[in-house]
Structure 1
Amino acid sequence: MLKPMLPTLIFEAPTGPNWVYEIKYDGFRAMLHWDYDGIQLISRNGNLLNEQFPEIITQCEELSDVMKPYLPLIFDGELCLLESPFKASFEFIQQRGRLKSEAKIAQASASKPAQYLVFDLLVLGNENLMNRRFQDRKLTLSNLFADVKLPSVVDPTNRELIQFVPYEQDFHLIWAEATQANAEGIIAKKMDSTWDEGKRTTNWYKIKNWQVGAFFILGYDKKNAFFHVGVMRKNEIYEIGLFSHGLSPDERQALLGVIQANASKETAGFIKVEPGICVELFYLELYKEQLRQPSFSKFRFDVEWQDCTWEKLVRKTPLLPEGIEITHPEKPLWKDKSITKFEYIHYLVEVSPYMLPFLKDRLLTVIRYPHGMYGEKFYQKNCPDYAPDFIQTSMSEGIDYIICNDLKTLTWLGNQLSFEFHIPFQTIYSKGPSEIVFDLDPPSRDAFPLAKKAATILKEVFDGLKLTSFVKTSGNKGLQIYIPLPENRFSYDDTRQFTEFVANYLTTMEPDLFTTERLKKNRGNRLYVDYVQHAEGKTIVAPYSVRGNDGAYVATPLYWEEITDDLSIEDFPLEMIIERINEKGCPFAHYFEAKDEQPFEPVLEFLRQK
């Protein structure tokens, strides 16, 4: 089996007309050997990964007919679990790599499939391309992807898991994209270079997107020659990692001498020192709240150890877009939860890849809580005069609405303490509804089982009509069911026929449980099926928006199989959502792909005949 060609680590990228640049994705390097006899996904160490990543093999098998004329072939690429088009998650791929159970691997590959990002082509149709120039190999690879209609760019939302990694000729442009997305770094490649098996080459360079932070020394491990470092976190000393690399012999000796001179305790294997010696370190990211790949930068004689804090460290990582600052980051927002303003905005940053697609090009109404849950709230539709220039807006019926299409706008709104994000059922470019949403609103949170029963009945109806539906919690006391529609195909009159029919069907089936009565006093303890709310100009809370309630509950997308007797709104507070996505994936991941496949026209024709 082929051994991969490896890049050399440097700190400054080479420039010139013979160099191009690719995003470096944090995953498992793998060669895909594909011939008439089968498919083998081989790791950097020569291990077969077919059983570990069955979704990639399945996709290859589905492509067998279109790929047959090009076989045999060998791809060089990276197995990743993408967070964005520029960043793969080290944590997710590590978790995936540790799975051993066939059932757990199957579940993971279905709920959060990996992508195989192809950046080189070594063999095509029995022709060995390794001695060709990188530029020629890349062009041949690009043409192949175009011929078989595989994605020509990296896209975490695309169901096609085998994707092409393009290069960029402008270093500054791709570096800005990498740092903005907190990517691992970039790879610089020489255009006229050949592919050298198993070599650590200077024709490819990796430039990592190092983060920088200040830390204090906690001790020295004599056996492994590691220095332990910490920060202050909530007024307590927190050990955050250990480092050894980056020190010159003189720096290492000087640091060890200071530690020995100030030791508070020494054993056969460890020298402990009280905080006081401060250093600056490079590191890639915080992984499980520990430094990943830390390396010495310099001593920080100008820093007091008490100023080396977790809060400063996290704020310094490029979570926030350039130009965004958090005012009063330690401000508490919920009375019953220890959630600060910083933690809320951190949530928005992490959830943004899943939330922003639903906010894109929609007139945004937010509910702002200037004092968190400790004060009054107010609705904001008009963009305020003090909004920065980068905020996009769109005028509608005399109101200048904010359009939240990017992370910079989302985090700015978070800093304004916008908790709830409400959006209409269409984009600013739509000539009708982009989706149908049923709002299942029980009289109280205690009556949540009514929402679950209604959702279960409706799922059977939609399945019978072959309509693809998605479900989420409202984040308050009910459930909301979405049916995505193709753009510019249907009117609100069309969808009103359907929503009224479905609502009446539900209330006819269970008149003691469900009602379409708009007056609360006449509903009794029945669940209100709000089909009137689905209309032009009306709004609904966006997926993954936190609600302004005491539990900090989130309007959370669900898998249909989660609608069980045990399901509760309280299962989905803000603090649990990112962990949930990491473990289960996003249930709305393929929402937009379902739009054009939705067979709504036959349903509408049936209703018109009634």
Structure 2
Amino acid sequence: MRPMLPTLTFDVPEGEEWLFEAKYDGFRAILHWGQEISLTSRNDKPLLDLFPEIKAFLEQNKEKLEPFLPLTLDGELVYLENAYKAHFGSIQVRGRMRSEKKIAEKAKSAPCRLLIFDVLMIKGKKISNKEYLLRKGELEALFKDCDLPLKPDETNPKLIQLIPNYRSFNELWEKVVLHDGEGIVAKQTKNQWEEGKRSSLWLKFKNWKYVSCFITAYEKSNGYFYAGVFQGEKIYPIGHFIFGLKPDEKQALFQIIKDNKTDEDSRYIYVEPAICVEVKYLEIYEEQMREPHFHQFRFDLKPDDCTYDKFIQHQKNLPPEIDITHPDKPLWETPSVQKIDYIHFLREIAPYILPFLKNRLLTVIRYPHGIFGEPFYQKNCPDYAPDFVETKMSEGINYIVCNNLKTLLWLGNQLAFEYHIPFKTIHSKGPSEIVFDLDPPSRDAFPLAIKAALYIREVLDHLELISFVKTSGNKGLQIYIPLPENTYSFNETRLFTKFIAEYLVSKDPDSFTTERMKKNRGGRLYVDYIQHAEGKTIIAPYSARGNKAATVATPLFWEEVNERLTMEKFQIPNLLKRINSGGDPFHSYFQTKNVQKFSPVLDFLKQQH
């Protein structure tokens, strides 16, 4: 079955007969479940072998879905980066995999999701000829009956999720731009689903990025214009375009190139940088613009104005409320990180750090001169903070609560490097997690933290407790045990942290100690079980650290905790590449809270106490 397709538009449709859905960058996929399950691509290619996590999830939920079979759903298979954005590069990598072992590993460590926006058949009855609004209602009812997510959520382990619709384009557009999503699909409320048709009743409106560049060549066989920018004194090629030009513009541009050519071969006509244009595109993939379209000539620019630095800076659309001051300011030296690089890092890491900052009283450490000057702690929200920054009073301090991307980027512009959070949310009566902070006496003693972490994991696995591990970003490791909210007190969790600390000391007294006086520790790792308490804080997962190496407090897979582990592997410039290639080790963190078997352990400790 070939899917119905949207038509590209540059104008937002108006009128009450239009509804809007977020558009995701993945593989269009139609799911049919009759006697067997099939998932086919836009070109009718089977997808289930490449994405076994989808098949496994469907089979696990067969009992819930069975009353609605045979069933046909239309959607997008994605690697979900956040609620409004799919990561194109990651789904492309998955699509090219052929090794069953590697596919299985990826399905476990970085599962993809099937986002559904339409239903074509339900209970064996074809409904594709019904109006869109009615089909959407049937789809929402199906998802509610089957207890499936009613909106995309990259942290939800349920891999089949609904794409909801919005009545307001502007409301959805603000979210899409904020989260750097691909765009919006506008759907006419009375449209019918038409197989294989590109319809004007479905319109796609994309979240373009813009680059000022110059023409470098013309390809004679297909009419493509090649573009570049200056990186220093060299020309950096950024791709080629043909769409968006009117016939007279295309002819005029070709004639200028022909009249001013510097060279020509069997394939290309070459020209010196002189003709400046503005091109819009979706994103950079494999160092080339994706879906480039000519936007306008830039007669006001000189080729020297078209630089690689500006090209990189404009790849991330920052919210208009965020005015980045001094973007070229150096913050770290080795590796070299400028302020705009750090802002882009925060933009990309937001889906991973924001869930841990959400509803927590935030203490930041600001570095007004980067690592080259003195930092300072900030707890009170400054008077000049914009209105979108949420706050919460606690013990006379008006704390920032970083609940949205705009606040995170604003803090980044204030040069807040470190984000320290308490062990509970503003709505929690007790701890939201247990954290063991394994802080060795020096960087050279990092192997002590590795040894302690592995000993602790042995115990936790034996007790059937689900744990997560991350680097501190400085010289230690931190182990997390997520807990259900409003269930335990800090006094109760201290019974457990003390038990683990005493176990470590008894296991290896030459390596570990609970001695609070530094002078009495003798080079051993101090196991600070008292630190896990009301009002204490710890560095948030994925927060940068204010040290010379630009390291990040990085979640790890447990198998990475071995003698080869080093802190310097996890720095601002390479962290997103790590997540995109290997997945987020904390991706199931919040889902484990309600299945954590902590009560039996605590009951046992209380009996012994």
Band the TM-score falls in, shorter-chain normalisation:
over 0.9
Give 1:224 deviation, angstroms.
3.1
| Preserved CA contact (<8 Å) 2:436 2:532 | yes
Q: Any gaps of 5 or more consecutive residues in structure 2?
A: none
Tell me the equivalent position of 1:198.
196
Tell me the equivalent position of 1:88.
86
Tell me the equivalent position of 1:128.
126
Tell me the equivalent position of 1:449.
447
| Preserved CA contact (<8 Å) 2:316 2:344 | no
More divergent stretch after superposition (344-353 vs 248-257): 248-257
Partner secondary structure for residue 254 of structure 1: helix
Q: Residues of 1 paired with 2:572 and 2:517: CA distance? A: 32
Match of 2:267 among 266, 269, 272: 269
| Preserved CA contact (<8 Å) 1:83 1:89 | yes
2:317 matches 1:319: yes
Q: Which amino acid aligns with 1:422?
A: H
2:179 matches 1:181: yes
Residue-by-residue CA offset, 1:50-101 (whole Å, 9 max, x unaligned): 1011000111111111211111111111101111111111111111111111
Give 1:309 deviation, angstroms.
2.1
Give 1:451 deviation, angstroms.
0.8
Match of 1:366 among 354, 364, 368: 364
Tell me the equivalent position of 2:594.
596
Tell me the equivalent position of 1:463.
461
* Superposed counterparts of 1:553-564, under 5 Å: 553-564=551-562
Match of 1:161 among 159, 162, 178: 159
- 4+ aligned runs moved over 4 Å, structure 1: none
- What is the aligned length? 608
Q: Which amino acid aligns with 1:415?
A: N
Give 1:475 deviation, angstroms.
0.6
Tell me the equivalent position of 1:50.
48
2:341 matches 1:343: yes
More divergent stretch after superposition (120-129 vs 176-185): 176-185
Partner secondary structure for residue 330 of structure 2: coil
| Preserved CA contact (<8 Å) 1:180 1:322 | no
Give 1:181 deviation, angstroms.
2.0
Q: Which amino acid aligns with 1:8?
A: T
Q: Residues of 1 paired with 2:180 and 2:471: CA distance? A: 30
Q: Which amino acid aligns with 1:75?
A: L
| Preserved CA contact (<8 Å) 1:319 1:346 | no
| Preserved CA contact (<8 Å) 1:130 1:196 | yes
Q: Residues of 2 paired with 1:221 and 1:439: CA distance? A: 59
2:58 matches 1:60: yes
Tell me the equivalent position of 2:547.
549
Give 1:345 deviation, angstroms.
1.1
Q: Residues of 1 paired with 2:231 and 2:391: CA distance? A: 40
Match of 1:114 among 112, 115, 134: 112
Q: Residues of 2 paired with 1:387 and 1:176: CA distance? A: 21
Give 1:388 deviation, angstroms.
2.2
Residue-by-residue CA offset, 1:107-128 (whole Å, 9 max, x unaligned): 1111111110111111111211
Match of 1:39 among 37, 60, 74: 37
Match of 1:523 among 521, 535, 556: 521
Give 1:49 deviation, angstroms.
0.7
* Superposed counterparts of 1:237-316, under 5 Å: 237-316=235-314
| Preserved CA contact (<8 Å) 2:178 2:405 | no
Q: Which amino acid aligns with 1:539?
A: T
| Preserved CA contact (<8 Å) 1:321 1:407 | no
Tell me the equivalent position of 2:19.
20
Tell me the equivalent position of 1:5.
4
Q: Which amino acid aligns with 2:74?
A: D
Q: Residues of 2 paired with 1:262 and 1:203: CA distance? A: 44
Give 1:262 deviation, angstroms.
2.2
Give 1:135 deviation, angstroms.
1.4
2:584 matches 1:566: no
Tell me the equivalent position of 2:505.
507
Q: Which amino acid aligns with 2:370?
A: G
Q: Which amino acid aligns with 1:10?
A: T
Q: Residues of 2 paired with 1:550 and 1:17: CA distance? A: 55
Q: Residues of 1 paired with 2:546 and 2:178: CA distance? A: 30
Q: Which amino acid aligns with 1:158?
A: N
Q: Residues of 2 paired with 1:66 and 1:416: CA distance? A: 49
Residue-by-residue CA offset, 1:238-266 (whole Å, 9 max, x unaligned): 11111111222221121112112222222
| Preserved CA contact (<8 Å) 1:218 1:274 | yes
Q: Which amino acid aligns with 2:528?
A: D
Tell me the equivalent position of 2:535.
537
Q: Residues of 2 paired with 1:391 and 1:75: CA distance? A: 40
Q: Any gaps of 5 or more consecutive residues in structure 1?
A: none
Tell me the equivalent position of 2:101.
103
Give 1:483 deviation, angstroms.
0.7
Tell me the equivalent position of 1:386.
384
Q: Which amino acid aligns with 1:330?
A: D
Identity rate, percent: 56
Match of 1:490 among 488, 503, 511: 488
Q: Which amino acid aligns with 2:22?
A: I
More divergent stretch after superposition (386-395 vs 238-247): 386-395
Cα separation, partners in 2 of 1:276 and 1:404, compared to 1, 3 Å: same
Q: Which amino acid aligns with 1:584?
A: G
Give 1:130 deviation, angstroms.
1.6
Q: Residues of 2 paired with 1:370 and 1:178: CA distance? A: 31
Q: Which amino acid aligns with 2:5?
A: L
Cα separation, partners in 2 of 1:84 and 1:31, compared to 1, 3 Å: same
Q: Residues of 1 paired with 2:84 and 2:292: CA distance? A: 22
Q: Residues of 2 paired with 1:363 and 1:131: CA distance? A: 52
Q: Residues of 2 paired with 1:204 and 1:319: CA distance? A: 25
Residue-by-residue CA offset, 1:458-480 (whole Å, 9 max, x unaligned): 01111111111110001111100
